[in-house]
Chains A and B, each alone.
Chain A
Amino acid sequence: QMHLVQSDSEVKQPGSSVKVSCKASGGSLRNHGITWLRQAPGQGFEWLGGILPLLGAANPTPTFQDRLALTADETSTTAYLELTSLTFEDTAVYFCARDGTHYRGAFDVWGQGTLVTVSS
């Protein structure tokens, strides 16, 4: 059974950048899409975008397109999210989730989440 293991929590200053990793443990991302979402404290989920690691094809949500980069390594075991020009409103738990090919695209495997705190 594959697990997604994300990088540790980060504290960043406004205007800086953060890079979050999502590593497949016990499997590969080659045959799956990965979607990135975030959840601000006490809030629902916000869809950030997705990537097909095998093709390297990324589709960030237009709202974030200018400052969001979604990438994956060439072995298709790790996906990355990099968000630039951070503001206080970017404080949230960032999740990667696997698009379940047997579940009509529902997210069947989730990373544990990475808390990104933007603070001066």
Chain B
Amino acid sequence: QAVLTQPPSVSGAPGQRVTISCTGTSSNIGAHYDVHWYQQLPGTAPKLLIFADTDRPSGVPDRFSGSKSGTSASLAITGLQAEDEAVYFCQSYDSGLNGRGVFGGGTKLTVL
């Protein structure tokens, strides 16, 4: 059972915008811990997409953006492309776990 809650799946047509939510509690996201987002293509290791709620590592297109409010965070993908089809995970930290990391269960993005 994942600590952070994500929708199991989302979908969108090429060129559209989709958002993926990540809901936590007052002991993790709501405690102002950073939220990071990863993209995992089938059979591969995850790739860092967004760190510290809103920042992008170099090389990540600006089609990907992150936001956070209260106990939730969101990943937005604009100008959807076929290669965006992947599983997306959010990650934060939890004061009840001595600051250890917690993950969402992952959201499968399907590009129609």
Contacts and interface: CB of A to CB of B under 8 A. Distances in A.
Judged by DSSP, the binding face of B is strand
Contact of A103 (B44, B48, B104, B106): B48
A118 B76 CA distance: 38
Interface of B: 2, 34, 36, 38, 44-48, 51-52, 55, 57, 89, 91, 97, 100-106
Contact of A44 (B45, B51, B89, B100): B89
Contacts of B45: 95, 110-113
A61 B100 CA distance: 8
Q: Which of A45, A100, A110 has the most CB of B within 10 A?
A: A45
Contacts of B51: 100, 103-104, 106, 108
Interface residues of A, number: 19
A95 B89 CA distance: 15
A105 interface: yes
A88 interface: no
Contacts of B38: 107
Interface in A43-62: 43-47, 61
